[in-house]
Structure 1
Amino acid sequence: GIYLPVGLEKAAYNDGRTPIWNAEGCTTADIVYDDLRTTNGWDSSYKIDFSDPCAQKYIDSQARMFADWGYDFLKLDGVGPGSFKSGDNYDNVADVAAWQKAIATAGRPIHLELSWSLDYGHVEDWKKYSNGWRIDTDVECYCNTLVGWENSVDDRWDDAPAWTDHAGPGGWNDLDSLNVGNGEMDGLTNAERQSYATLWAIAKSPLYTGDDLTRLDSYGLSLLTNREVIAINQSSAPPAEPVTASDPQQVWAAKNPDGTYTVALFNLADAPASVTADWSTLGFQGKASVRDVWNREKLGTYRDRITQALPAHGSRLFTVTSHGTDLEWTGYEAEAGTLSGNASTAGCSACSDGRKVGNLYGGGKLTLDNVVVHKAGTYQVKVSYISGDARSALVSANDGGATSHKFASTGDWGTVNVVHVPVKLKAGANTITIDSGSDGYAPDIDRIDVQK
């Protein structure tokens, strides 16, 4: 592969006299703006003016050269909107489109990867013109180790969910390099290394390591070469996404084409904790067989759920095969509830009934009455929500105490995501309340669903 910042690098300009290869009559003066405006995340290049046909010919010449050299991977870096830059000078959508066009005629397939912290508002452009896009900043910490858990590795659990539905064949969410090959070099515990590798695998992120390949330790080598984990990453199943709220203990899952489920349990807390994957969050109840993917071990059959004790920042990765029955659900539209404080209804084209409840801040509250279940117990209640940033809400039932749950960003204020939160209900009619708290901001709510 080869690395290239977007734009025309300043050193190549040469007062506009440098000729463009394979583009007769074209020079570097023809392909940039007269005022030599700069672009990319470091302003290290001149912005290319694609109104001049010579600009596309320049990109064509580079793509042809890379193909002739035998490259099959191009990382185009500093791309905007993103890379912590915005504005017209840093809008490089035209550059990306030009690269896609050039690669198509270069005579060799070249994977086009975009970097970094790409703007979610342009996700359709990244999907249209590239094969992968960095959703976040560098995973490296630029400290005395290669990475650090709290320097940016753990950010991915918050940032990936908004992008999940946009990944698929031809284009993938890039979480950055997988640096788990040497614990001393990486600055991570073994538990953190496994969690890091687990999220990258189930999110279908491209897998490439930034470790020194001559210094891989035995545990790192086992992580990087586990065929079952790699198979999950490379399978035709969709990327996993959270099925629970983004609390310190989380469950992510994806349904596989053969009907099984890929299920990951994460304890992101700084202390050991138990994490439970409830089969109802996968849509069924009853028995299921469980295989431990990392350890290549069949764990047997579990009814309704599996609970694991995990170390700080630890994880488990399972393949779950249902032998139970599908659940049926009863839906309760948010706009049919009782609103208090600042809460109000608004139109929502993505919502199930075209409406949502928003303005849940500063004591704003949504209360849903007559939520009926046939027997008492703790239910995994589906919450369909919209939130342009990560927000928390207090969830309670009847006269019970409220529990705060964190809801990951859905990317914008027009996209609905679904997670489950545990709520203790009594047999018969119940009241469920979603409260912003006195000084908090909660996500907008589309609806909730409770199993029959």
Structure 2
Amino acid sequence: MFRSYAETPPKGWNSWDSFGASVTEEEVLGNAEVMAKSLKDYGWEYIVVDIQWYEPLADSCAYHPFIELRQDEYSRLIPAENRFPSSRGGLGFKPLADAVHAMGLKFGIHTMRGIPRQAVHGNSPILGTQKTARDIADTNSICPWNTDMYGVDNTKDGAQAYYDSLLALYASWGVDFLKVDDIADSKLYGTHSGEIELIRKVIDSCGRPMVLSLSPEPAPIERGTFFQRNANMWRLTDDLWDNWEQLYDMFGRCGKWSAFVGAGTWPDCDMLPLGHIGARTVADGSEARLTRFTKEEQRSLMTLWSIFRSPLLFGGDLRKLDDWTRSLLTEPYLIDAHQNGRDAREVYRKEELVIWVSESDTRKYVACFNLSDEPARLPEVAGEWLQSIGGEMHEVWANRTVSVAEAQTTFLAAHGVALFVTR
């Protein structure tokens, strides 16, 4: 059952926020080494190579339109050898995946839905069928922001064989996590249900468990049960960056989607743009920076993502991991809420004050958020939820033990959070 591939929400690192489309093997291994040494014991395990690992000249978040990509003889994209030298000789990502696995971690890649345009234009063959790339392509189904692919018409003879061969290749490399893009909700075409169902079927029969993550855009909530049936993760937003407006917006999205959270199926708030990011989000590296989120905003982000139980994919360069950011990623109470929580839900929202509650086998959680630009007192209604904890409780971010009465006098910083837990 595919849900067993991600019984708890996945945690890992993704290359996009730091390196855009241009990450290299050296950078992937460097980040994996830090995760293995410093974060693996806290449940962080996936190392995910994001978009355009098959593009030899990639240098930033910007895509080079209609550039020649690395491709094998069966219409399947393969790693660019200049960026991933261990892939030479037709080995693909297997040597890199083996190195990541040897560290006790899991390996993931990004892919675009569909079949390469250059394969269609060259009418290249598909393994396991007499049909060709041109036979299965839907040339009217194109990504509005990237020129690499045409869609696959899942009703065409040969479509199944193409995805069979593609997922067989990924399985042979040792892929544990597959992020498929331009599929959860396209600006032009909505949810690509046919291709999602085809990919789900092939993953289930390819012989290797893979977490299936669908991107991007705000996935339509009316398709929530469809996503639960077919994916382990699906994105609730377009790319999330380090600005308050997007973080503020996520509170509304989480409130609506909490009913769809469950073992193996995780609505995805997107990556954590924390720590050192932006090293190559533009070609000259001028965007390299520490996250623009304030410390209060970082605590609010980590608390919301954890209590809601979103997947956690860190976007910063782990080789530059600072003590502050590491403390956010290894906070024991957040780990418990994220991995073991249940029945998480928003129970109060008035103006800019929001309360979420959750519980695990050992603790109850009450998270009080202040979304306004000014400090604010804890809302009076918080008292009834604090009473459910009872007696003394621990306030995580202030690192203090308080009674219910003391907790009710708490002031919340602008954009900040107080997280109360059973002591």
**Counterpart of 2:366?**
263
Is residue 28 from structure 1 mapped to residue 122 from structure 2 by the alignment?
A: no
Residue type of the partner of 2:228? K
* Offset of residue 193 of structure 1: 0.9
Task: Provide the rounded CA distance (Å) in 1 between the counterparts of 2:417 and 2:195.
Answer: 40
Is residue 187 from structure 1 mapped to residue 287 from structure 2 by the alignment?
A: no
Is residue 133 from structure 1 mapped to residue 240 from structure 2 by the alignment?
A: no
**Counterpart of 1:290?**
393
Instruction: Give the alignment partner of residue 124 of structure 1, picking from 189, 200, 225.
Output: 225
**Counterpart of 2:410?**
308
Quickly say closer, same or farther: Cα 1:132–1:286, change in 2 above 3 A: closer
SS of residue paired to 1:61: helix
TM norm structure 1: 0.62
**Counterpart of 1:325?**
none
Q: Percent identity?
A: 30
Residue type of the partner of 2:414? A
Quickly say closer, same or farther: Cα 1:246–1:13, change in 2 above 3 A: farther
**Counterpart of 2:104?**
none
SS of residue paired to 2:414: coil
Instruction: Give the alignment partner of residue 46 of structure 1, picking from 150, 154, 167.
Output: 150
SS of residue paired to 2:392: strand
Residue type of the partner of 2:309? K
Instruction: Give the alignment partner of residue 58 of structure 1, picking from 162, 178, 189.
Output: 162
Quickly say closer, same or farther: Cα 1:304–1:254, change in 2 above 3 A: farther
Task: Provide the rounded CA distance (Å) in 2 between the counterparts of 1:284 and 1:315.
Answer: 18
What are the ranges of 5 or more consecutive residues in structure 2 without an aligned counterpart?
Answer: 1-107, 278-288
Quickly say closer, same or farther: Cα 1:91–1:124, change in 2 above 3 A: same
8 Å Cα contact 1:79/1:92 also seen in 2: yes
* Offset of residue 223 of structure 1: 0.6
SS of residue paired to 1:53: coil
Quickly say closer, same or farther: Cα 1:131–1:281, change in 2 above 3 A: farther
Task: Provide the rounded CA distance (Å) in 1 between the counterparts of 2:273 and 2:386.
Answer: 34
Task: Provide the rounded CA distance (Å) in 2 between the counterparts of 1:167 and 1:39.
Answer: 31
* Offset of residue 305 of structure 1: 6.4
Answer 1 or 2: which has greater strand percent.
1
Task: Provide the rounded CA distance (Å) in 2 between the counterparts of 1:283 and 1:270.
Answer: 24
**Counterpart of 2:244?**
149
* Offset of residue 285 of structure 1: 6.5
* Offset of residue 307 of structure 1: 3.6
8 Å Cα contact 2:347/2:357 also seen in 1: yes
SS of residue paired to 2:124: coil
Deviation sequence 1:234-282 (CA, Å, 0-9, x none): 11523x2211125212111124345x42111111111111224746654
Quickly say closer, same or farther: Cα 1:190–1:285, change in 2 above 3 A: closer
Instruction: Give the alignment partner of residue 183 of structure 2, picking from 74, 79, 91.
Output: 79
Task: Provide the rounded CA distance (Å) in 1 between the counterparts of 2:389 and 2:263.
Answer: 33
* Offset of residue 219 of structure 1: 0.9
* Offset of residue 320 of structure 1: 3.8
Answer 1 or 2: which has greater helix percent.
2
Quickly say closer, same or farther: Cα 1:28–1:153, change in 2 above 3 A: same
SS of residue paired to 2:391: strand
Task: Provide the rounded CA distance (Å) in 2 between the counterparts of 1:57 and 1:287.
Answer: 59
8 Å Cα contact 1:40/1:79 also seen in 2: no
**Counterpart of 1:18?**
124
**Counterpart of 2:110?**
3
8 Å Cα contact 1:280/1:304 also seen in 2: no
Residue type of the partner of 2:174? G
Deviation sequence 1:152-193 (CA, Å, 0-9, x none): 122101221111101100110100111222495211111111
**Counterpart of 2:92?**
none
Task: Provide the rounded CA distance (Å) in 2 between the counterparts of 1:233 and 1:277.
Answer: 27
* Offset of residue 65 of structure 1: 0.9
Instruction: Give the alignment partner of residue 158 of structure 1, picking from 252, 266, 274.
Output: 252
The alignment's C-alpha RMSD in Å is 2.4
Larger RCO of the pair (alpha carbons < 8 Å, separation 6+): 2
SS of residue paired to 1:38: strand
Residue type of the partner of 1:242? E
* Offset of residue 64 of structure 1: 1.1
Residue type of the partner of 1:148? N
Task: Provide the rounded CA distance (Å) in 2 between the counterparts of 1:265 and 1:160.
Answer: 15
8 Å Cα contact 2:243/2:292 also seen in 1: yes
Is residue 70 from structure 1 mapped to residue 174 from structure 2 by the alignment?
A: yes
Residue type of the partner of 2:420? F
**Counterpart of 2:301?**
196
Task: Provide the rounded CA distance (Å) in 2 between the counterparts of 1:286 and 1:119.
Answer: 35
Residue type of the partner of 2:357? A
8 Å Cα contact 2:219/2:234 also seen in 1: yes
**Counterpart of 2:267?**
173
Task: Provide the rounded CA distance (Å) in 1 between the counterparts of 2:274 and 2:125.
Answer: 44
8 Å Cα contact 1:178/1:200 also seen in 2: no
Quickly say closer, same or farther: Cα 1:67–1:236, change in 2 above 3 A: farther
Task: Provide the rounded CA distance (Å) in 1 between the counterparts of 2:213 and 2:150.
Answer: 20
**Counterpart of 2:37?**
none
8 Å Cα contact 2:353/2:371 also seen in 1: yes
Quickly say closer, same or farther: Cα 1:229–1:60, change in 2 above 3 A: same
Task: Provide the rounded CA distance (Å) in 2 between the counterparts of 1:46 and 1:108.
Answer: 26
Single out whichever of 94-103 and 306-315 deviates more from structure 2: 306-315
